[in-house]
């Protein structure tokens, strides 16, 4: 456990040293910590029950052409009970996602498979792969250039392959995850001269600290690493009360101050709202997210409260 604490401390040090923003080619979600499957296929079927999640985000409210994103995910275990340590459980998942930024719209449909391997009662390694298709559309009707430019003044509607790989490791009170997206490196034909989807790497980690029998502190950090462009860093901390109510905040480096609040109903329904107060040179504005999760099984409350982070 001491080794994991040292690694997590190192990640936090990287956060403090980072002062970069993130070039947004993929949708950006503030609630990533409670929607791990949306960024990592290794979470497919990780729960021992059916898990459905939805989220909608409107970014930089009031700015013309600002991003609007959302997804629906379904995660199902194929083998819920392991027979022995190191024996694999399996899971599948589906993600449908849409992202609109100005004249650009991307819709994705992906199927995911993951294997989950327990090394002890509390430690688990998960490996996942998702593959599917994405539709990329470009509407030039609102594009204005000083001189006519054929590189931007033509419509585009493309269907391209899509793939993501991911890995996940967790113990009872910590986790590490990594995923690489846009593996197919698909080119935007008809838009720009050499425009294409670039590899995007996500690395995240989190911990759970028991404060009292009823209160836990959930903290997390996410590094968003594009092939070209600056590093992006999100950090958050949420106080969880009896695994029923949570409130907290965070910071997206050089870009926004974050706020979170969620409620659980009957340990099966999760309703969450988050707000970003944008402080970047783009100007002061707000971004909003609302999400709804449903699982067919209830979260188990024990001496160490179980949350969506450690299912």
Tell me the residue range of the domain where 215 lies: 2-310
**For 151-166, how does the pLDDT look when each residue is reduced to its tens digit (9 = 90+)?**
554 567 889 999 999 9
* pLDDT band with cut points at 50, 70 and 90 for residue 241: very high
> Stretch 36-59: mean pLDDT, rounded?
95
301 pLDDT exceeds 80?
no
The CATH number covering residue 149 comes to 2.40.160.40
The secondary structure of residue 48, as a DSSP letter, is S
Q: Which tokens sit at 249?
A: 């905040």
226 pLDDT exceeds 80?
yes
Given this model, what pLDDT does residue 6 score?
Answer: 40
> Stretch 197-215: mean pLDDT, rounded?
94
Question: Closest Cα to residue 129, out of 179, 186, 184?
Answer: 179
Given this model, what pLDDT does residue 193 score?
Answer: 55
CB contact at 8 A, 161 and 186: yes
Bigger pLDDT: 304 or 295?
295
In the chain, how many domains are there? 1
Q: What is the mean pLDDT of the chain?
A: 83
CA distances from 83 to 47, 86, 88, 262, 299 (A): 16, 9, 9, 35, 22
Given this model, what pLDDT does residue 126 score?
Answer: 95
> Stretch 77-99: mean pLDDT, rounded?
82
135 pLDDT exceeds 70?
yes
């Amino acid at each position: 456990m001491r080794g994991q604490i040292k690694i997590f401390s190192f990640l936090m040090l990287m956060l403090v040293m980072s002062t970069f923003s993130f070039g947004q080619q993929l949708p950006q979600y503030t609630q990533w910590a409670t929607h791990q499957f949306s960024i990592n296929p290794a979470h497919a079927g990780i729960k021992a029950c059916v898990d459905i999640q939805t989220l909608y985000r409107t970014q930089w409210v009031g700015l013309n052409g600002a991003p609007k994103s959302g997804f629906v995910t379904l995660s199902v275990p194929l083998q819920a009970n392991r027979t022995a340590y190191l024996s694999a459980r399996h899971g599948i998942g589906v993600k449908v996602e849409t992202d609109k930024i100005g004249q650009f719209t991307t819709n994705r449909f992906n199927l995911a498979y993951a294997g989950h391997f327990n090394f002890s009662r509390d430690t688990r390694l998960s490996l996942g792969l998702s593959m599917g298709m994405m539709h990329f559309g470009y509407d030039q009707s609102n594009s204005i250039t000083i001189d006519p430019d054929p590189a931007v003044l033509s419509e585009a509607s493309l269907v391209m392959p899509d793939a993501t790989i991911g890995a996940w490791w967790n113990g009872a009170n910590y986790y590490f995850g990594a995923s690489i997206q846009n593996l197919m490196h698909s080119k935007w034909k008809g838009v720009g001269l050499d425009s294409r989807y670039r590899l995007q790497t996500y690395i995240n980690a989190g911990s759970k600290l028991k404060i009292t029998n009823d209160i836990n502190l959930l903290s997390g950090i996410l590094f968003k690493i594009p092939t070209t462009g600056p590093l992006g860093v999100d950090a958050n901390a949420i106080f969880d009360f009896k695994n029923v109510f949570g409130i907290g905040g965070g910071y997206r480096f050089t870009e926004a101050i974050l706020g979170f609040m969620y409620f659980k109903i009957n340990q099966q329904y999760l309703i969450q709202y988050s707000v970003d107060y944008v402080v970047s040179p783009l100007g002061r504005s707000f971004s909003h997210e609302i999400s709804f999760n449903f699982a067919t099984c209830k979260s188990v409350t024990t001496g160490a409260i179980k949350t969506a982070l450690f299912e």
